[in-house]
Structure 1
Amino acid sequence: MIPCVITSVRLKPDTAAVAAVDLARTALVEEVDAADVGEHLGHLVEGERLVTHLFACTRPGYVGWRWSVTVARASRQKTVTVDEIVLIPGDEAIVAPAWVPYRERIQPGDLSPGDLLPVEDDDPRLVPTYSFGDDPLDTDAQAQIRTVAKDLGLGRVRTLSPEGHDLAAQRWYDGDQGPTAAIAQSAPDSCYSCGFLLRLNGSLSDTFGVCANGDANDDGRVVSLDHGCGAHSEVQLAKKHEPQPLPEHVVDTLSGDQLESF
């Protein structure tokens, strides 16, 4: 491997720190097994009189990783000292993927019986069903109001916000029950004209309905009016695809005596 010189800032490299390769290697093999240390890969100028030397890592299971030994020289001093020794991944190293919070990793269908998925108090998809005025409420006040609302039988505490409404509509329209689904692209007609479509009330009625065809893939699901499938109520088979009529029945009228005469 060809040694590299990486300069992260436009500083004049410190000659003594750059030349301290042997010092860096000696300090490294005091911390780790010498068999795990490979060739010197170059240096990185971190700052004024501050240089990091890189060594290949030959430890099994750490392909592409490298040892990083940072050395420094104090002002007006000739001696170079070791600051830090760490193992860092290179461009070809296998590392864990970027952390994704648990809440963001959950996908539709992941919940099992008994699993709970709480909704945050400030979830933008929901708003209070009743109005509290313009003053913000802290967590304790929200909890008290919910308790009172439940005791008074005021119904749902929160309902869909305009943002939550739009997100749901867009998700349904872009999903498998929307017009771009493969089954809809090859359908003979749309759900709008299907007798099995149950209409919705409210603002979503112009775009969505519920399929009530027990033979359809989308039975019991919200479908867009421009969705479709092969189970449309008015679909008809072409004559060449219709079942062929059975031939006339043949009735055997021969008796035993007639058979003997042949």
Structure 2
Amino acid sequence: MTLLLTLDDGSVQRALTDAVELAREAAVAEAGAEQVGAHEGVYREDAVSATHLFEAAVPGYRGWCWSVTVAAAGPELPVTVSEVVLTPGREALVAPKWVPWERRVRPGDLGVGDIFPTEDDDPRLVPAYLQSDDPAVEEVALEAGLGRVHVLSRYGRQEAATRWRGGEFGPRSDMARSAPESCGTCGFYLSLAGSMRAAFGVCGNEISPADGRVVNVEYGCGAHSEIHVETTSSVPVAELVYDDSQLDMEPVREPADS
């Protein structure tokens, strides 16, 4: 890798560009002569500083460079070393971008005893504000889902609906495409309540691969309640044909006249 960037003209910039040996000495002092390779280029940081790059001969750091930043406060002042660091080059193997743990968790990762708290501003949830001192009102509110601290927001319901429809138990799955009928006409289909009722329910057929799962109304499988299969003999029965060439023939004797 070679980085050759033109620096602005001027005595300070020329001094910074020419400070290759000063930068090398700093890198050697930091890492040792055996780990500092060829000079690979220099680039400007600002008006009074520049960074020299040296190949890093460090085991396990192929493609990395020693970056030595040098600076000069003015034309008549000496060039000094600001810092020496090991930095990745264009072909260096580096760790992937860090992602917070709460965004790394995926469906199926949560195990027994694991805790995964929701964020305070989770857009999928909204507060349930209804509170009353009337037990009858509280009973109705609890049944409708309003007695909880949070309920699904419109965004949360749409997100869930999109995920369920495009999942394993949606209308585009292989099972649904080969099914003779859809869940919406099946006796084992248990509709959800609320706004999800029109499109989703739960399968109650233990034979079905979707038993106990949320299924789309257009999903289907071979265990539909209204499927009837005609029971006929597995051996085709054709019209009986007699081959008289294989029969023994005897003439019929006429009875004697008495």
CA distance in structure 2 between the partners assigned to 1:87 and 1:119 by the alignment: 39
Unmatched runs of 5 consecutive residues or more in structure 2: 132-137, 238-258
* SS of equivalent residue, structure 1 residue 69: strand
Question: Could you tell me how far 1:237 is from its partner in structure 2?
Answer: 6.1
| Residue 244 (structure 1) aligned to one of 230, 234, 244 | 234
- Tell me which amino acid in the other structure corresponds to 1:217: P
- Tell me which amino acid in the other structure corresponds to 1:198: L
Q: Identity rate of aligned residues, in percent?
A: 50
Question: Corresponding residue for 2:153?
Answer: 161
Question: Corresponding residue for 1:174?
Answer: 166
* CA pair 49-243 structure 1, distance change in 2 beyond 3 A: farther
Deviation per residue, 1:155-194 (Å, 9 max, x gap): 4222222222222222211221112222223323322222
Question: Could you tell me how far 1:39 is from its partner in structure 2?
Answer: 0.8
- Maintained 8 Å contact 2:130/2:147: no
CA distance in structure 2 between the partners assigned to 1:233 and 1:245 by the alignment: 28
* SS of equivalent residue, structure 2 residue 85: strand
Unmatched runs of 5 consecutive residues or more in structure 1: 133-148, 248-262
Count how many residue pairs are aligned between Structure 1 and Structure 2. 223
Q: Normalising by structure 1, what TM-score?
A: 0.76
**Structure of larger gyration radius:** 2
* CA pair 177-11 structure 1, distance change in 2 beyond 3 A: farther
- Tell me which amino acid in the other structure corresponds to 1:69: V
Question: Corresponding residue for 1:127?
Answer: 126
- Tell me which amino acid in the other structure corresponds to 1:108: P
* SS of equivalent residue, structure 2 residue 102: helix
Question: Corresponding residue for 1:44?
Answer: 43
Q: Normalising by structure 2, what TM-score?
A: 0.77
> Is residue 193 of structure 1 aligned with residue 185 of structure 2?
yes
Question: Corresponding residue for 2:245?
Answer: none
- Maintained 8 Å contact 1:128/1:157: yes
* SS of equivalent residue, structure 1 residue 27: helix
Question: Could you tell me how far 1:78 is from its partner in structure 2?
Answer: 4.9
- Maintained 8 Å contact 1:11/1:47: no
5 Å-filtered alignment, 1:107-122, equals: 107-122=106-121
CA distance in structure 1 between the partners assigned to 2:155 and 2:20 by the alignment: 59
- Tell me which amino acid in the other structure corresponds to 1:43: V
Per mean C-alpha deviation after superposition, the further-off stretch among 54-63 and 75-84 is 75-84
Question: Could you tell me how far 1:49 is from its partner in structure 2?
Answer: 3.1
CA distance in structure 1 between the partners assigned to 2:52 and 2:229 by the alignment: 76
CA distance in structure 1 between the partners assigned to 2:192 and 2:183 by the alignment: 13
> Is residue 202 of structure 1 aligned with residue 198 of structure 2?
no
